[in-house]
Amino acid sequence: MPDRRRSSPSAVAGRVAAVFPTPGRVPGEHRLPGPLEQRAYLIGGRVRAWEGPLREVYSPLRLRSGSSLRRVRLGAYPALSAKESRAALAAARRAYDDGRGTWPTLPVGERIRHVEAFTAAMVARRGEVVRLLMWEVGKSLADATKEFDRTVEYIRGTIDALKDLDRVSSRLVIEQGVFAQIRRAPLGVALCMGPFNYPLNETFTTLVPALIMGNTVVFKPPKLGVLLWQPLLESFRDCFPRGVVNTVYGDGATVVGPLMESGGVDVLAFIGTSRVADILKHQHPEPHRLRSVLGLDAKNPAIVLPDADLGNAVGECLLGALSFNGQRCTALKILFVHRAVADEFVSRLAAAVDALPVGMPWDPGVWITPMAEEAKPAYLRELVDDAVSRGAAVRNAAGGTVLETYFHPAVLYPVAGGMRVWDEEQFGPVIPVVPFAEVSEPLDYVRNSPFGQQISLFGSDAAGMARLIDPLVNQVCRVNLNSQCQRGPDAFPFTGRKDSAEGTLSISDALRVFSIRTLVAAKGSEANKELLSAILQERRSAFLSTDFIL
Ligand code: G3H
């Protein structure tokens, strides 16, 4: 947590003005060796070199040169056309081969060995990936490292969960004289697309369960956070059979539209906006065949009751609203605070924001860094101006200051319906605080909201909290008590209602969403028993097998 001593407004303004360093102030170990001109893409087990047009990548981090700020070019990546995209899908379909391919028919233990080999190769590239996360999306060193390590843990957790699942399925069941072996089988070709805020982690949380369950995959990196996949491309090629993992790069409409329109995608795993998810789903010619796993929009509220421990509530709301600059789907995006404590809450929150270290991702203890999306600061400024024009005030020093890609967090109070920030998902460091007199006011907000991911409740009276918990669990999918909203721990189910999600992801749930239950059954005649015994004892089938993974 940051040092909570309030900084003077001029000290805050000074820190904001000096947020971008000169090149000489970038520590040697965090400098990039030079622009990464990526021409490589992976299709059908071959890393190919793209000769066509490239998309330029610039960092959200600026470097100071005299009185001006310079953009930093990080490199470029292939702007593939629909032709390559179709080739990627064709390679994935060939590798799946209508469920007859090597990968979907491989015994689970062997699929696990491929994923383990990939994990080891990935860990060897940790430093490069973390550095690119900092430069490409502006994530702090601590958070970028956490994202990488959490992803590796997620993969290892997935392997353990699959072993458990397989052990439970490694036996025959007998019901009403019918023998059966019930397992989970793959669905086909999965298209996996993660978001720019967790480009590595949230892509892998669908990619890995999809793969390990025997599906083949086409994946497209998000619009930001593309170059960081380059160090992993050869590992994908070396660790999986040909065509099991394929990549597409470039403009979404150009490379993703044709995939969906072809009808060749069986599972759509997408983390992004509900608007784009709707477009993609509607492009599929036979939508009933498409399984979707979607993580979408959210505007998670907090409700601070008069009996809440205000110190804890401020700390958790700060974390919830400003971790990675508020660029999290799970971020707290609107705070309802009871009138009896609202002034005190806002004053403590503003002081805490004033004390936050701002700067570059590698600065020790940094909280607020430049925004990943170039156009975001201007959008956030519009939200602040709109709220101020309708009666709110910015309550912290330098709140809403824009310096190129840097946007200084703004605590807005009092916020009310009719302001844009009441409805719009800001996905950035704007903290709207709404005073309320009756708890029915925030409850009505939740009921009328198009979103239904999570909520945070702050209070200490057991009866009062319980009265809120019971209706809220039917409106959102996680009620956090005296704690910020968050996805983790990854063993917990992560999902949402209404416009917020489709399907549930957790380490074990993800194995289920990328597979379907299928069984081999036989009436228990003597002849069938002999047949089953022969197949099992002679180990003739990967599916019909009582082998137990140790
Ligand atoms: O952007 C949404 C992420 O899933 C948030 O994950 O709550 O663990 O930071 P997190």
Residues in contact with 154: Cβ distance below 8 Å, sequence separation at least 6, in sequence order: 201, 204, 205, 208, 490, 507
Q: Amino acid identity of 14?
A: G
Residue 286 CA to ligand 1 centre (angstroms): 32
Domains of the chain, residue spans: 84-295, 300-492
SS3 41: strand
Read off the tokens for 120. 């080891």
Best residue among 133, 478, 486, 494 to mutate for probing ligand 1's pocket (most ligand atoms within 8 Å of CB) is 486
**Pair 155, 487: CB distance under 8 Å:** no
Length of the chain: 550
Handedness of CA 424, 429, 430, 432 (dihedral sign): positive
List the CATH code of the domain at 300-492.
3.40.309.10
SS3 171: coil
* Nearest atom of ligand 1 to the alpha carbon of 195: 1
Confidence at residue 7, expressed as pLDDT on a 0 to 100 scale:
83
Best residue among 151, 198, 425, 426 to mutate for probing ligand 1's pocket (most ligand atoms within 8 Å of CB) is 198
Residues 289-309 pLDDT 10s = 999 999 999 999 999 999 999
**Pair 290, 265: CB distance under 8 Å:** yes
Q: Is the CB of 500 inside a 6 Å radius of any atom of ligand 1?
A: no
Q: Is the CB of 139 inside a 6 Å radius of any atom of ligand 1?
A: no
Q: Is the CB of 197 inside a 6 Å radius of any atom of ligand 1?
A: yes
Q: What residue has token string 């330098």?
A: 398
Tell me whether the omega of the peptide bond preceding residue 489 falls within 30 degrees of 0, making it cis. Answer: yes
Residue with CA closest to ligand 1 atom 7: 486
Residues 68-127 pLDDT 10s = 999 999 999 999 999 999 999 999 999 999 999 999 999 999 999 999 999 999 999 999
Q: Is the CB of 478 inside a 6 Å radius of any atom of ligand 1?
A: no
Q: Is the CB of 411 inside a 6 Å radius of any atom of ligand 1?
A: no
What would the mean pLDDT of 187-192 be, rounded to a whole number? 98
Q: What residue has token string 């179709």?
A: 86
Residues 224-240 pLDDT 10s = 999 999 999 999 999 99
Residue 361 CA to ligand 1 centre (angstroms): 18
Tell me whether the omega of the peptide bond preceding residue 414 falls within 30 degrees of 0, making it cis. Answer: yes
> What is the spatial distance between Cα 112 and Cα 354, in angstroms, rounded to a whole number?
48
**Topology, domain 84-295:** Aldehyde Dehydrogenase; Chain A, domain 1 (3.40.605)
> What is the spatial distance between Cα 263 and Cα 256, in angstroms, rounded to a whole number?
12
The region, left, alpha or beta by phi > 0 then psi within -120 to 50, assigned to residue 188 is: left
Residues 3-47 pLDDT 10s = 555 689 999 999 999 999 999 999 999 999 999 999 999 999 999
Residues 428-479 pLDDT 10s = 999 999 999 999 999 999 999 999 999 999 999 999 999 999 999 999 999 9
Minimal CA–CA distance to 314: which of 343, 294, 286, 276? 343
The region, left, alpha or beta by phi > 0 then psi within -120 to 50, assigned to residue 176 is: left
- Crossing angle for the helix pair 230-239 and 108-123, to the nearest 10 degrees: 150
Q: Tell the burial category of 424 from Cβ atoms under 10 Å away from its Cβ (0-12, 13-18, 19+).
A: middle
Handedness of CA 425, 330, 481, 351 (dihedral sign): negative
What would the mean pLDDT of 514-518 be, rounded to a whole number? 98
Residue 362 phi/psi, 5° resolution?
A: -90, -5
Residues 521-548 pLDDT 10s = 999 999 999 999 999 999 999 999 999 9
Residue 328 CA to ligand 1 centre (angstroms): 5
